[in-house]
């Protein structure tokens, strides 16, 4: 199979980690008989420097022609970089919001998995960590509180700020379908996280999910209020398989889940639309503090490539091979962020090479 991949290398450590992920993609391509064509797409600070815009319309048009997009990370030091003196819609992150909107990427998938080899980095009690966990958080990405009408006004001499939280049944249904479909390929359990005791929009989420669940008789659907879910994630994370939730709840819970996984340099993510096209990226940022030093952990981006193979390119065998190689490499080899006594300490490129060698 021949596939066209857009590469958004971005800023900071972005190019360093994307280069390693491409190396790994080439290695699985060679093993399973796939070829990949790559085209660089400018987004973020590098695009501002080159074009004055964080993402041009031309770049969006190129992205739309691809089978999948691999993104490093964008942005700079928000205190010192001149990019952050620009108006908000001209800053690096505006490129990210634009591409999500233009490609209709409404479903954000964030797996959180505790590698047995990284248990010591897990901040949870040993008795909880030793049981391990393996969950997929599905966050609605293009609706809800972050996209509703907002304004600030003066009311009777006092300043009042208003944010609105809107969801339509269709918006809920399309991410719910993705959630159930993914659960069918995993342990067949979906947890809807909401605040249905308070919010009307949450009650619509519940009704819609319950209705849809009739089409997935094999999947167990249960419900949790968001405050309870935040507690359960640290008390008993093993109970979760697929969590489906709204934009703001998913934003917060997926960060909590990444924290209990031990290292920000290990976690991948995918953002999908209703076609096969998706954008794949590590959850970490551009880490300007370590950019250019050759010490960034490329595994999150390498695992993003595995997600790309699984969800956009239907190549689960190649995805499994990458995930297995990452699990194996961790037994002996670590970048400085996850290094422990007795392990071989390696650079970004050496880690990429080590994963390739195991593939
Ligand atoms: P960050 O994730 O870049 O870094 C947080 C800490 O984790 C830093 O100490 C960094 O060195 C470390 N770290 C991150 N990734 C690592 C890796 N792969 N290997 C080893 N260590 C790693 O978060 P930040 O410092 O808050 O943000 C920096 C910039 O990234 C900001 O401009 C922010 O807006 C941007 N950002 C972009 C994205 C994205 O592109 N989707 C996501 C998050 C943050």
Active site residue 195: yes
Distance CA 212, CA 214 (A): 5
Same fold, 1-106+269-359 and 123-260: yes
- Catalytic residue among 11, 194, 251, 337, which? 251
Q: Ligand 1 centroid vs 125 CA: distance in angstroms?
A: 26
**Which pLDDT does position 1 carry in this prediction?**
81
Q: Are 11 and 342 in contact (CB under 8 A)?
A: no
> 123-260: CATH homologous superfamily?
Isopropylmalate Dehydrogenase (3.40.718.10)
Q: Per residue in 282-312, pLDDT tens?
A: 999 999 999 999 999 999 999 999 999 999 9
Active site residue 227: yes
Q: Per residue in 204-242, pLDDT tens?
A: 999 999 999 999 999 999 999 999 999 999 999 999 999
Listed as own residue / partner, the contacts of 336-344 with beta carbons closer than 8 Å and 24 or more positions apart are: 336/295, 337/263, 337/264, 337/265, 337/295, 337/297, 338/118, 338/121, 338/262, 338/263, 338/265, 338/266, 338/297, 340/120
pLDDT tens by residue, the chain, 359 residues = 889 999 999 999 999 999 999 999 999 999 999 999 999 999 999 999 999 999 999 999 999 999 999 999 999 999 999 999 999 899 999 999 899 989 999 999 999 999 988 888 899 999 999 999 999 999 999 999 998 999 999 999 999 999 999 999 999 999 999 999 999 989 999 999 999 999 999 999 999 999 999 999 999 999 999 999 999 999 999 999 999 999 999 999 998 998 898 888 899 999 999 998 999 999 999 999 999 999 999 999 999 999 999 999 999 999 999 999 999 999 999 999 999 899 999 999 999 999 999 99
| Residue ranges around ligand 1 (CB below 6 Å) | 13, 17, 73-76, 78, 93, 96, 264-265, 281, 284-290, 296-297, 300, 337
Candidate of 287, 326, 350 to mutate for ligand 1, largest count of ligand atoms within 8 Å of Cβ: 287
Domain 1-106+269-359 in this protein, CATH class: alpha beta
> Which of the 8 DSSP states describes residue 110?
E
Q: Domain residue spans in the chain? A: 1-106+269-359, 123-260
Q: Whose CA is nearest to atom 37 of ligand 1?
A: 285
């Amino acid at each position: 199979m021949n596939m066209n991949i857009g590469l958004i290398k971005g800023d900071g450590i972005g190019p360093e980690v994307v280069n390693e992920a491409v190396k790994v993609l080439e290695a699985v391509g060679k093993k399973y008989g796939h070829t990949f064509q790559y085209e660089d797409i400018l987004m973020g600070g590098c695009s501002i420097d080159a074009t004055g815009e964080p993402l041009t319309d031309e770049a969006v048009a190129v992205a739309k022609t691809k089978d999948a997009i691999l993104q490093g990370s964008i942005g700079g030091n928000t205190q010192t970089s001149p990019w952050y003196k620009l108006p908000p819609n001209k800053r690096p992150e505006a490129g990210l919001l634009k591409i999500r909107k233009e490609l209709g990427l409404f479903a954000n998938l964030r797996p959180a998995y505790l590698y047995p080899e990284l248990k010591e980095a897990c901040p949870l009690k040993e008795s909880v960590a030793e049981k391990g966990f393996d969950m997929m958080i599905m966050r609605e990405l293009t609706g809800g509180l972050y996209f509703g009408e907002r304004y600030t006004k003066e009311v009777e001499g006092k300043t009042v700020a208003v944010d609105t939280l809107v969801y339509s049944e269709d918006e809920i249904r399309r991410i719910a379908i993705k959630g159930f479909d993914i659960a069918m390929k995993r342990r067949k359990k979906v947890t809807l996280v909401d605040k249905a005791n308070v919010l009307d929009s949450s009650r619509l989420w519940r009704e819609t999910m319950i209705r849809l669940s009739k089409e997935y008789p094999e999947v167990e659907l249960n419900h949790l209020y968001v405050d309870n879910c935040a507690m359960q994630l640290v008390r008993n994370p093993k109970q979760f398989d697929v969590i489906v939730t709204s934009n703001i709840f998913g934003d917060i819970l997926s960060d909590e889940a990444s924290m209990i996984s031990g290292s920000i340099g290990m976690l991948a993510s995918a953002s999908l639309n209703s076609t096969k096209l998706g954008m794949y990226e590590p959850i970490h940022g551009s880490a300007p503090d370590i950019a250019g030093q050759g010490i960034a952990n490329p595994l999150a981006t390498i695992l993003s490539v595995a997600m790309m193979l699984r969800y956009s390119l239907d190549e689960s065998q190649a995805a499994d091979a990458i995930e297995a190689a990452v699990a194996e490499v961790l037994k002996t080899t670590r970048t400085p962020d996850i290094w422990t006594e007795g392990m071989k300490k390696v650079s970004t490129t050496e880690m990429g090479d080590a994963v390739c060698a195991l593939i």
